Amino acid sequence: MSTADRRGASALEGAALETVAGLIFTVKGVVHPPDRVVAYLRYVPDPRGERVRGRERYRRVYNVAEQEEALRVRGLSYRLHDPALGVPVDAVPWADVARVYDPRERLRRLRAVGPDGPLTEDALALAELLRDAAGVPPAALGLTGSLLFDLQASDSDIDLVVYGDGECRRVHAALARLLSDPSSSLARPRAAELAAIHAVHREDTPLSAADFARLQAGKVNEGRFAGRPYFVRFVKLPTEVPERYGDPRFAAAGRALVEARVIDDRDALFTPCRYSLREPRFLEGARVAGLSEAVSFRGRFADQARAGQWVRAYGALERVVWRERPETTRLVVGGRPGDYLLGLEGDSAPPELPLTRREPA
C-alpha cells in the first residue's frame, strides 16, 4: 500500500490532518478526490491562541470567513472547484499533509498508556461504557474533537466517533437504552445546556428554541457523561456507501425551501445523514424534478426526522448523475448559513407557507 493509500485509509469523517505549515483541518465525508482530502480548517498556530500543545499556541477558527482569512494571510487557498463534486469544497492536497490523526489510533493509544487527567479519564470511561453496552470491538470507536490532536482544554467536550454500519447501529441503540435508564451515568442535556447549544447553532441554523429542544429530545448522540457534554458521530466505512469518487457526479441546481414526507430514515443517524423523501412541495427558490432525498454532511442534522414524518428544509439542490443508474435530485442541508432541516409535528401534510418566509417560526 502506498503512503497516500495508507493515509487515505484513515482520512474518514472524524479524522484530522496537519499540514506542513502546521494548520489543522478536520476531514469531512468518506469519499475524496484521489490526490486531496475534503477537510476544513479548525486550528491555526497563533502566539495569542487559547490552546497550547507543547511550546506552540493555537487559535480556533469557527466559520467560513475566519477560515478563508486565516488561509489568505498565509498565501494559501484550498478551495477546489471539482466538476465531479458539483460545488466548491475545501480539499487539502496530500502533498501538503504532514500527518493524519486517526481517531481509532488515538483511542487505542489512550487505552494503552492510560489517562493523563480528568478529561481523558472521562473520555476513556465513556468509550469503554459504550463498547461494553453495544458489544462492539474496540477498533469500532475513536476519539475525535480537540482530544484527537491534543489541543483540548480542561473543560472540553468528549467527542467520539463510531465506524461501521452495524457497529454504529449497535452503539446508537445502546445510547438509547442508557439514556432511558435513570441509574445510568449518561443524561440528556439540561435546559441551560440546551439553551447554550442552541445559541451556538442559531447563528447559522435558524431554528426556534422550542423546535431545537423538541428535535434534541429525540436524539441520543448528544448529552452529558460524568458532568461533561458529549457528542457521538456515526460514520459508515467507504465500502458501505454507494458513492465512489466520480460516480455519481453532482451538479448544482439552485437553492430551495422544500416540504416533503420522509419515507426512509435508516441512514438518519450517520454523518453524512440521509433521508429518503416523497411528495416534495417547493415553497421557495428553484424547482427541480426528481427530488428524492435530503442529505447533510453536518452532524447536527443527524436523527432530525423519522419515517412517516413531514420535514421542512432549506438548502442546495443538486442533480445526482450516476453512470449506470437513473439521475436523481437531492437537497443538501448545512452547506451555508441559513440552512436547516426541521421535522414537523404530526403525520399530516402541513399547510402551505408564504413563499417569502424561509425561517421556521
Is residue 92 within 8 A of residue 42, CB to CB? The reply is no
The CA distance from 266 to 263, in Å, is: 10
Q: What is the pLDDT of residue 12?
A: 94
The CA distance from 339 to 255, in Å, is: 10
Average pLDDT, 10 consecutive residues per value, the chain (361 residues)? 51 95 96 94 95 94 90 94 88 96 97 95 97 97 96 93 98 97 91 84 83 89 93 96 93 96 97 97 96 95 95 97 94 93 77 53 45
Q: Tell me how far the alpha carbon of residue 83 is from its chain's centroid.
A: 23
Q: What is the pLDDT of residue 4?
A: 47
Nearest 5°: the CA angle 236, 100, 50 is 105
Which domains can be identified in the chain, with CATH numbers?
3-101 (no CATH), 103-235 (no CATH), 247-343 (2.40.50)
Is residue 59 within 8 A of residue 47, CB to CB? The reply is no
Sign (positive/negative) of CA torsion 162, 163, 168, 174? Answer: negative
Question: Residue 174: which region, alpha, beta or left (left: phi > 0; alpha: psi -120 to 50)?
Answer: alpha
pTM metric for this prediction: 0.91
Q: What is the pLDDT of residue 22?
A: 96
Q: What is the pLDDT of residue 2?
A: 43
* Residue 45 CA: distances (Å) to CA of 93, 103, 144, 275, 278: 20, 22, 20, 39, 47
Q: What is the pLDDT of residue 67?
A: 93
